[in-house]
C-alpha cells in the first residue's frame, strides 16, 4: 500500500476520533548538499552544531557537492590548500544579500554579470551583460544573486561566476 495513502487514512481516522494530531515533516539529509546558514543547524562546522559565524571555509570533503547559502552576508573562503584538490564545488545564493568569496589560492576567474532584465536560455548568443576575466589572481569578490562553480584541477582553481549584480568591483591581485 502506498505510504501516502496510509498517512492520509491515519489522519482521517485520528480526526474522526477527535484526537489531537501533530504532524511533523522530516526530510532525508542529502550528502551531496551543504547548506550554509548562520542561523540554523547545518553542516557548516565540524559535525552538526549551531553555526553563529557568517564565515565558511571550504573543505576537501565539500568536493563534488552543491552548496546553498541561506540568510546571506557570508564570507566563503577558498583556502590556499585547495589548489591541490581535484573536483568541483557549486555555490548558489539567489537572494538579494551580499556574500564575499575570499579566494586564497591562485585562480583563474571568469565573472558574467547579467542585466537584470535578461532571461537566460540554453544556447543564447546575445545577452545584455558584462564579462570579467582574471588570470592567476587571489582576493575577494562581493556577490549577490549568483551561482559560482569552482573547478579544482590539482594545480589551478578555475572559478566561473554567474551573477545579476556585483555590489562592488572585485579586489584581486
Once rounded to an integer, what is the mean pLDDT over residues 75-102? 93
Cβ 164 vs Cβ 116: under 8 Å: yes
DSSP one-letter string for 85-99: -EEEEEEEE-SSS-E
pLDDT score for 30: 64
Which carries the bigger pLDDT value, residue 48 or residue 76?
Answer: 76
Res 53 pLDDT > 50: no
Max mean pLDDT range (16-20, 69-73, 84-88, 152-156) = 84-88
DSSP one-letter string for 3-39: HHHHHHHHHHHHHHTT---------PPPTTEEEEETT
Once rounded to an integer, what is the mean pLDDT over residues 136-140? 96
State percent of the chain over pLDDT 90: 43
The set of residues, in sequence order, having a beta carbon less than 8 Å from that of 96 and lying 6+ positions away, is: 144, 145
Res 10 pLDDT > 70: no
Domain ranges of the chain: 28-172
Q: What is the mean pLDDT of the chain?
A: 77
Q: How confident is the model at residue 28 (pLDDT cuts 50, 70, 90)?
A: very low
Q: How confident is the model at residue 127 (pLDDT cuts 50, 70, 90)?
A: low
Amino acid at each position: 500500500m502506498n505510504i501516502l495513502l496510509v498517512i492520509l487514512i491515519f489522519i482521517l481516522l485520528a480526526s474522526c476520533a477527535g484526537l489531537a494530531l501533530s504532524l511533523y515533516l522530516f526530510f532525508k539529509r542529502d550528502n551531496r548538499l551543504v547548506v550554509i546558514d548562520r542561523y540554523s543547524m547545518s553542516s557548516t562546522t565540524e559535525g552538526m552544531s549551531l553555526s553563529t559565524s557568517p564565515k565558511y571555509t571550504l573543505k576537501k570533503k565539500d568536493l563534488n557537492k552543491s552548496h546553498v547559502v541561506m540568510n546571506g552576508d557570508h564570507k566563503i573562503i577558498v583556502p590556499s590548500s585547495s589548489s591541490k584538490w581535484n573536483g568541483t564545488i557549486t555555490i548558489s545564493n539567489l537572494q538579494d544579500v551580499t556574500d564575499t568569496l575570499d579566494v586564497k589560492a591562485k585562480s583563474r576567474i571568469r565573472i558574467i554579470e547579467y542585466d537584470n532584465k535578461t532571461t537566460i536560455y540554453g544556447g543564447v548568443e546575445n545577452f545584455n551583460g558584462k564579462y570579467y576575466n582574471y588570470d592567476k589572481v587571489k582576493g575577494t569578490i562581493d556577490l549577490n544573486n549568483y551561482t559560482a562553480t569552482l573547478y579544482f584541477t590539482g594545480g589551478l582553481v578555475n572559478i566561473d561566476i554567474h551573477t545579476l549584480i556585483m555590489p562592488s568591483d572585485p579586489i584581486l591581485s
